[in-house]
Amino acid sequence: MRAVEIRGRLEQRLLLTAVAATLCVSGLGFLFGLLTGSFSILFDGVYALIDATMGALALLVARLILRDALKHDEEAPGRVRYQYGFWHLEPMVLALNATMLTLAAGYALVSSVMLIFEGGTELNFDAAILYTVIVIVICFAMAARQRRQNLRLGSGFVALDAKGWLMSGAITLALLVGFAIGRALEGTSLAWVQPYVDPVILALVCLVVIPMPFADLREAVAGILRVAPEDLDHHVLTVAAAARERHGFADSYTYVAQVGRATLIEIHFITPPGWPLSSVAQLDAIRQEVGDAIGDEGPNRWLTISFTEDPAWAF
């Protein structure tokens, strides 16, 4: 089995496990939310359900990308129907995921504020604390597992999933602290505060959660718009300039983009009039030299190198 297939299968297995675990957490959230009367726990269930849905979508995209990579190995590129692959779907899924989670948190924030003004809600703190303990164990265990497995995989989807589990665990830990404080207030002069504990916790959690997906959203949008990453752009420019000087080209033009896991690179070398060309093999040797200098050769690198005397072909 080829390395790309092994990595792809591992990614799919990790994502499938994550979806199953997230659905489990979502089910617990709905169950305990109804049993305890906690809107923050219900929100946790809704948040997990959205996350599971997006995880299933990410799994589908990962399968499409792997299948496409294997087909390109088995068939002539011109005979593959989706000849440009499915890389473009990856940032779209990440952007949709970040947007959905942000909108859900925004809605929950508004709901929590309304609950506070309505006098709060009664809560079964013992059951709520039990829920948070169970979910904390699941979240941190999944975060550790996904992060450890992704050290050798390097998947953007799995990295985002590990980050999500870590965030969920931290948020649930905050819920545990809040519920424990609320439980401790029972029978004291501050017992009147108890109905407000749940909506206040929910509001605070939402204020923390809402900004979290912004970095992922910004990165995903950059991939969708094919914004050139500065470090990649600089690296390719440097490699092209070195090749230009070494082989006596008149000029060079480069175009780069990072779309999900795919690195798209175009380099056009402008040859001066009368540039000595002995054979096409000479150009292929230059292509190989430039490709080696750029590095990261593999199924996720799309490298095009052309040679022309007319600069108009480089635009």
Give residue 89's pLDDT band: very low, low, confident or very high (50, 70, 90).
confident
The pLDDT of 19-34, averaged and rounded, is: 90
Q: Where does the pLDDT of residue 217 fall: very low under 50, low under 70, confident under 90, or very high at 90 and above? A: confident
Cβ atoms of 159 and 90 closer than 8 Å: no
What average pLDDT score do residues 203-232 get?
A: 85
* Rounded (5°) CA angle 309-311-315: 135
Contact 240, 254 (CB under 8 A): yes
Which residue from 93, 94, 98, 88 is spatially nearest to 257, judged by alpha carbons?
Answer: 88
pLDDT classification of 307: cutoffs 50, 70, 90: very high
Average pLDDT over residues 243-271: 91
* pLDDT at residue 1 greater than cutoff 50: no
- Using 50, 70 and 90 to split pLDDT, how confident is the model at 68? low
Average pLDDT in the 37-46 region? 86
pLDDT computed for residue 81 by the predictor: 64
Provide φ and ψ at 308, rounded to 5°.
-150, 155
Determine if residue 274 is left, alpha or beta; phi over 0 gives left, psi from -120 to 50 gives alpha, anything else beta.
Answer: left
The chain-wide mean pLDDT, for the chain, equals 84
pTM of the model: 0.69
What pLDDT score was predicted for residue 164? 79
- What is the band of 119 on the pLDDT scale with cuts at 50, 70, 90? confident
- Over residues 200-224, the mean pLDDT reads 84
- Residue environment code for 240-261, b if the CB has 16+ CB neighbours within 10 A, otherwise e: beebbeebebeebbbbbbbbbb
Give me the domains of the chain, ranges plus CATH numbers. Answer: 3-224 (1.20.1510), 230-314 (3.30.70.1350)
Report the distance separating Cα 144 and Cα 166, nearest Å: 8
pLDDT band at 117 (very low <50, low <70, confident <90, very high): confident
Name the percent of the chain lying above pLDDT 70.
92
Write down the residue that tokens 């450890």 correspond to. 148
Residue 301 predicted with pLDDT over 50: yes
The widest CA-to-CA distance across the chain, in whole angstroms, is 94
If pLDDT is split at 50, 70 and 90, which confidence band does 97 have?
A: confident
pLDDT exceeds cutoff 90 at 133:
yes
- Cβ proximity of 116 and 199 under 8 Å: yes
> What is the pLDDT at residue 3?
64
**Other residues' Cβ atoms within 10 Å of the Cβ of residue 272:** 10
Residue 141: band (very low, low, confident or very high) from pLDDT cuts 50, 70, 90? very high
pLDDT of 261 above 80? no
